[in-house]
Copies of this chain bind each other. A is one copy, B any other.
Amino acid sequence: MVATKRKPPRSIWMFGLQSDEPTEAQRRAHAKELSERYGMTIELPPIPRAEELRLRAPRIKPPDAIAEFCYQDNYERALHAGYRTGLALRGETLNPPDVVAHPRTEEELERVLEWCSKNGYATIPYGGGSSSVNGVTPPEGWDGIVTIDMDQFDQVLEIDATSRAARIQAGVFGPELEDQLRPHGFTLRHFPQSFAGSTLGGWIATRSGGHYATKDTHIDDFVESVRMLTPMGWWESRRVPASGAGPDPNRLALGSEGILGIITEAWMRIQARPTYRATAGVTFPSWEKGYEAVRQIVQSKLWPANLRLLDPELARGSAGLDGTRALLALGFESADMPQEWPMRQAIRIARENGGQIDDDAILYADSGQYTGRGGAVGAWRDAFIPRGGGLAAGLGTVGGTVETAITWERWPEFDRQVREAFAKVLKEVCGGGTLNCRFTHVYVDGPAPYYTFAGFYRPGLGTQEQAAVKKAASDAIMKAGGTITHHHAVGRQHRPWYDQERPEPFAVALRAAKRALDPNWVMNPGVLIDP
């Protein structure tokens, strides 16, 4: 008899736990502030409680063999209905799963997947549900939808300290994972923005972007082997440091977004906890000077852990700069040796390109004590951590992010075109808005820029307007040669652009591969590819 582990209740309408939700007073204060800013009364919609939601009645019933770990209550179904069920706040009809399964063992997972595949139910593998691209939103047009929530698979099973690797279950959330590695002196050091509300399995399935700004940017680089249940059986790659035997099986699981199977565990490369650190916030007289410096630093192959450039607008808003200067957050870290040398090399290159920083503003630590919380970088770091996401829920604001990657020689023109597209569409849709950009990751051959936009408030703005802005930006990214996503994944939202981006024969191959592994086409249908 396997016991179900109780997890802290999660918010059904915003990213995070119920305990993270803002109070009514906080929400009212925010709506009042917005009302005053725009000189109008902005209504605060009520927060739905799970038991009050009128959801479509479940259309299917789990058989006895799996009933014990399957749920059909409003909380479970609303929580799994999609990203930030704030949707419901805007009066939109939800398309919840009929059943939410929380298998506790691989054998239970086999049972529920067999039931889904045999009966042709859409099957949604679910980690933390933090997808910002509708990657785990149930699709329309199915008579039965089953979401498989992997939250019971939350253990670090094995640590190989010699090889620096660990066997980890897929459903573990970021903080739980770090808590289990910490006593052994290790860390995965994979901190996507969704860290607190996303899981290892989700990171692998979506090729998430992590802590390191250079070199080992995606989760891909830390995967030794993957264990995944497909409708045709278990997929488990051999655990070796590297191989040249045929196309890498791990690389077909990475980014598969649940269409081939459901990941249960992986051997992951882990890190010794860094004790030596060097941190600097370098300012530049312009965006252009900043990104030229970043190009030279990354091409010098010093591989800083942090190399994140903020454009003048973002440096102003989040770090208090004057709006003309760009800010570079530069950092090195090591478990083995002081980082003065690489830092000085990088600072030299930055200064050669107009970068400014006083020598005594470069912070070093050799005891594991982090030194970078002060100054401009610290201010930006705090702004990076998502907070108060719930405050704007239901107010009808238009805003969000797009992210991509582009080679250096095309970058300046690319940036110009994307900004132009944003300016135009924000004007049309919202009467204007704000836009800023930062590099989240940087490669020898180009940056991964991340644009954050916010439209001015107008009554009546909603999903359609949000989509219009996103579409215009995505069109511009595609046209100017970028990828539709560097680390947010494809999901259902990025499909039109993904279909343009991928080579057509690759689509043919992927479609055939999915059909062979998932004959009834039940695994996360609508994501990545259609029959």
Contact = CB atoms under 8 A, between A and B. Distances in A.
A1 interface: no
A245 B407 contact: no
A393 interface: no
A77 interface: no
Interface string A244-277: 1111110111111100110000000100100000
A1 to B, nearest CB: 31
A494 to B, nearest CB: 7
Given A164-B299, A407-B239, A244 B485 contact: yes
A239 B408 CA distance: 11
A349 B335 CA distance: 13
Nearest to A165: B445
A435 interface: no
Nearest to A443: B241
B498 A232 contact: no
A218 interface: yes
Interface in A455-495: 481-490, 494
Nearest to A505: B235
Interface in A328-348: 334-337, 341, 345
Contact of A240 (B164, B242, B483, B503): B483
Contact of A254 (B234, B248, B254, B409): B248
Nearest to A341: B341
A160 interface: yes
Contact of A483 (B238, B484, B501, B503): B238
Nearest to A232: B505
Contacts of A72: none
Interface string A192-223: 00000000000000111100000101101000
A162 interface: yes
Contacts of A228: 505
Nearest to A305: B301
B299 A272 contact: yes
A209 B244 contact: yes
A247 B255 contact: yes
A228 to B, nearest CB: 8
Contacts of A165: 407, 445
A501 B238 contact: yes
Contacts of A335: 300
A233 B405 contact: no
B163 A409 contact: yes
A6 interface: no
Given A241-B448, A244-B488, A246-B510, A409 B162 contact: yes
A264 to B, nearest CB: 13
A57 interface: no
Contact of A505 (B220, B409, B517): B517
Interface of A: 160, 162-165, 206-209, 215, 217-218, 220, 224, 228, 230, 232-249, 251-257, 260-261, 269, 272, 295, 299-301, 303, 334-337, 341, 345, 349, 404-409, 441, 443-448, 481-490, 494, 498, 501-506, 508-517, 528
8 contacts: A209-B244, A235-B505, A240-B404, A242-B443, A244-B488, A249-B502, A260-B509, A512-B516
Given A242-B483, A247-B252, A249-B503, 5 more contacts: A218-B242, A240-B407, A241-B405, A245-B489, A509-B514
